[in-house]
């Protein structure tokens, strides 16, 4: 089977996005259309635990559309061994130490830039992180973000879709396409009162997701296509606001939007442009130290793979 075959790539991607969207949108629609109603007292100690037994599984499994699609199509196309290999790749942390450091510090360092800039340039009072009292309290949201965010999405977005997109497009084009699809996938959440993004502008949500996709492409490519790296980066991004909290300045002439300030968007776009300038637009990665070729080029040059090879899914 030719992994580089364009008709196969298109067919697999269409199937992947269809399954990913169908799974999650079906789950979320249960709450949006109040087929299943949120239990009274949700988010408080007064919530009925019996009601939560119905609520929790649906919420936990609802974002697993991309990962379910990746495993399903891998199994259908390549069989059980390739599916097991895909699972193993999710937890293989054998990547360069410098990239592990970047993965865990990337988003906290960006938040630190916001915090220091607001404090020293605009003299804005900054909050005292609650976890300083009990550092272990940061573990719960981080673990939750791995289960419901990192693992539920990245096996599909980065592990399945990104290699296929990069077999035909460069890193920037692939990030734009996948970022738009990820943003579109999240859009039902703006209509669900139980989600923090309820009421958010759809255009803003898609733009913010596209920005995050560029960060993840950069990490994914520079770690040789590591799904584990993508999962951890996603989780640290979701919990960075717990670790490094910040207050932004109020500037009268600067537009303000709900959920995501334009300041955050501008700073992140500048960071992305700097990364592209340093690492290049084609792959957003340095040459592979062992082979002197970027990871996605190596993948695309493989003409045929055996039936139990992961890349052929």
Q: Is the confidence at residue 304, as pLDDT, over 90?
A: no
Percent of the chain, pLDDT > 70?
Answer: 80
Decide which of 51 and 211 is more confident: 211
Quick one: angle between helices 80-90 and 227-243, nearest 10?
A: 40
On whether the CB atoms of residues 153 and 69 are closer than 8 A, the answer is no
Exposed / middle / buried, residue 230 (Cβ in 10 Å: 0-12, 13-18, 19+): buried
What CA–CA distances, in Å, run from 296 to 29, 158, 306?
Answer: 36, 12, 19
Distance CA 239, CA 60 (A): 17
Express each pLDDT in 188-246 by its tens digit: 999 988 788 888 999 999 999 999 999 999 999 999 999 999 999 999 999 998 888 88
Decide which of 166 and 185 is more confident: 185
Distance CA 313, CA 298 (A): 16
Decide which of 152 and 35 is more confident: 152
On whether the CB atoms of residues 231 and 238 are closer than 8 A, the answer is no
Q: Is the confidence at residue 311, as pLDDT, over 50?
A: no
* Res 278: pLDDT: 94
* Res 53: pLDDT: 72
Express each pLDDT in 241-292 by its tens digit: 888 888 888 776 666 666 788 888 888 999 999 999 999 989 998 764 433 4
Ordered by start, the domain boundaries in the chain are 6-312
């Amino acid at each position: 089977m030719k992994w580089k075959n364009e008709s196969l790539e298109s067919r697999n991607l269409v199937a992947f996005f269809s399954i990913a969207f169908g799974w999650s949108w079906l789950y979320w629609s249960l709450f949006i259309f109040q087929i299943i109603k949120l239990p009274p007292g949700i988010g408080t100690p007064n919530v009925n635990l019996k009601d939560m037994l119905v609520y929790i599984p649906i919420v936990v499994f609802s974002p697993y559309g991309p990962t379910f699609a990746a495993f399903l199509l891998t199994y259908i196309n390549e069989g059980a061994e390739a599916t097991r290999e895909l699972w193993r790749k999710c937890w293989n942390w054998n990547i360069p130490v410098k990239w592990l450091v970047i993965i865990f510090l990337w988003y906290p360092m960006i938040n630190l830039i916001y915090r220091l800039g607001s404090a020293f340039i605009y003299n804005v009072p900054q909050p005292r992180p609650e976890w300083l009292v009990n550092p272990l309290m940061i573990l719960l949201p981080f673990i939750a973000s791995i289960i419901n965010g990192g693992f539920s999405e990245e096996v599909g977005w980065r592990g399945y879709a990104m290699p296929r997109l990069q077999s035909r497009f460069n890193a920037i084009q692939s990030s734009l396409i996948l970022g738009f699809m990820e943003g579109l996938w999240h859009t039902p959440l703006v209509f669900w009162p139980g989600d923090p993004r309820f009421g958010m502008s759809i255009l803003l949500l898609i733009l913010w997701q596209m920005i995050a996709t560029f960060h993840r492409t950069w990490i994914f490519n520079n770690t040789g296509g590591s799904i584990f790296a993508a999962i951890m980066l996603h989780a640290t991004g979701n919990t960075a606001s717990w670790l490094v909290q910040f207050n932004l300045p109020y500037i009268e002439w600067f537009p303000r939007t709900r959920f995501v300030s334009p300041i955050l968007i501008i700073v992140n776009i500048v960071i992305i442009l700097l990364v592209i300038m340093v690492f290049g637009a084609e792959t957003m990665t340095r040459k592979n130290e062992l082979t002197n070729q970027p990871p996605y080029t190596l993948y695309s040059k493989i003409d045929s793979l055996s039936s139990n090879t992961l890349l052929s899914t």
